[in-house]
Amino acid sequence: MTSTDLLTGAPASVHPRSALTRIWNVVRLHLVDRRTYIGIPWLIVGMAFVITVFIAQIIGFTTGGLGTPGAIEGQRYSWAVLSPQWYLIVVGVQAISFGFPLALGFGVTRRDFYLGTALLFVLISAGNAVAFAVLTQLEKLTESWWIDTYMFNALWLGIDGFWVDLFSFFVMQLLVFFIGASVATIYMRWRMPGMLVFWSSFALGLVGTVTIITFTSSWPTVAVWFAAQGVGDIFAWLLIPAALAGFGGFLALRRATPKN
């Protein structure tokens, strides 16, 4: 099968494929490089786990032994479970900046490309969410892998059960992917002026929000609101920026032109 076959489903002389087939072929195009989307993120997870084991020994030594309340509390705030997320933001950028020019060269429409890329993000997010939720439960069942090492059962994970862990990690993965993709589409559509406007607007919005909350003495109200939300509720709210980033990226990509 040629590259044209992979993207369009068939040469031009054969009956045209359905929209779903064309979208799925975009997913297959991305996954030609499985290392970027699957291999490297899980290599990062493995490296983070090894480092976490050593850090657990250090924490246990300084707090009087592994498995003590002090050691457990110290590891509860470990960010090692989030180690692949920083890389996956870059993956979201690369999916657009590298994949889009190639797809256009083979005649893939902007709509099919973006929908296929979004489907890829959903599938990888779902797969990673299942894996991390299962690993969190295994870590609890094995009493921290029998060596008092907490990596997956940390931060908010492991607090409200399997399904909340699954949902929260899925939403976080989608947010990470679509933020990276939307930033890439903004750059591809408007280049540096677009990036300057985007980051300036983001910084002003963030500082403005903090200023308003501070000057109205609303931080206690904000704290109470967050305390009243469960883990699942907070991540349900995060679906909104994920959806906005995804939809905004699609709008920007409709008129984007690759530099090459």
* 94 domain residue, yes or no: yes
Task: Give me the residue label for tokens 């291999």.
Answer: 39
Judge whether residue 70 has pLDDT over 70: no
Percent of the chain exceeding pLDDT 90 equals: 29
Reported as a pLDDT band with limits 50, 70 and 90, residue 10 is very low
**67-71 mean pLDDT:** 61
The reported pLDDT for the residue numbered 257 is 76
- What's the rounded Cα separation, in Å, for the pair 17 and 172? 33
Q: Give the confidence band of 69 by pLDDT, cuts at 50, 70, 90.
A: low
258 in a structural domain: no
CB atoms within 10 A of CB 56: 24
More confident call, 105 vs 129: 129
Q: What is the pLDDT of residue 188?
A: 85
Angstrom CA distances, 257 to 101, 105, 110, 189, 197, stand at 8, 12, 10, 6, 19
**Inside any domain, residue 259:** no
User: pLDDT: is 148 or 139 the higher one?
Assistant: 139
**What pLDDT sits at residue 67?**
60
* pLDDT mean across residues, the chain: 84
Tokens of 237: 């709210």
Does residue 188 contact residue 113 with C-beta atoms inside 8 Å?
Answer: no
Count the neighbouring beta carbons within 10 Å of the beta carbon of residue 234.
Answer: 13
* Nearest to 128, CA basis, from 171, 192, 178, 65: 171
Q: Which domain holds residue 112?
A: 3-253
pLDDT over 80 at 9, yes or no: no
Q: What is the pLDDT averaged over residues 236-247?
A: 92
Provide the 10 A C-beta neighbour count for residue 247: 13
189 exposure class (CB count in 10 Å sphere: 0-12, 13-18, 19+): middle
Q: What was the pLDDT predicted at 1?
A: 46
Query: What's the rounded mean pLDDT across residues 130-138?
Result: 93
Q: What are phi and psi of 64, to 5 degrees?
A: 100, 15
Any idea which of 4-18, 119-133, 178-192, 220-234 has the lowest mean pLDDT?
4-18
How far apart (Å, rounded) are the C-alpha atoms in residues 1 and 11? 10
Predicted model pTM: 0.83
pLDDT of residue 221: 87
Least confident of 68-77, 144-153, 173-182, 235-244: 68-77
Give the Cα separation of 27 and 179 in Å (integer). 19
Q: How many domains does the chain have?
A: 1
pLDDT digits 0-9 by tens, 81-117: 888 888 898 999 988 888 888 888 878 888 999 999 9
Predicted pLDDT at 13? 45
The pLDDT, as a whole number, for residue 12 is 46
pLDDT digits (tens, 9 = 90+) for 160-214: 889 999 999 999 999 999 999 999 998 888 888 888 998 898 899 999 999 998 9
Indicate whether 260 belongs to any domain: no
CB 150 within 8 A of CB 65: no
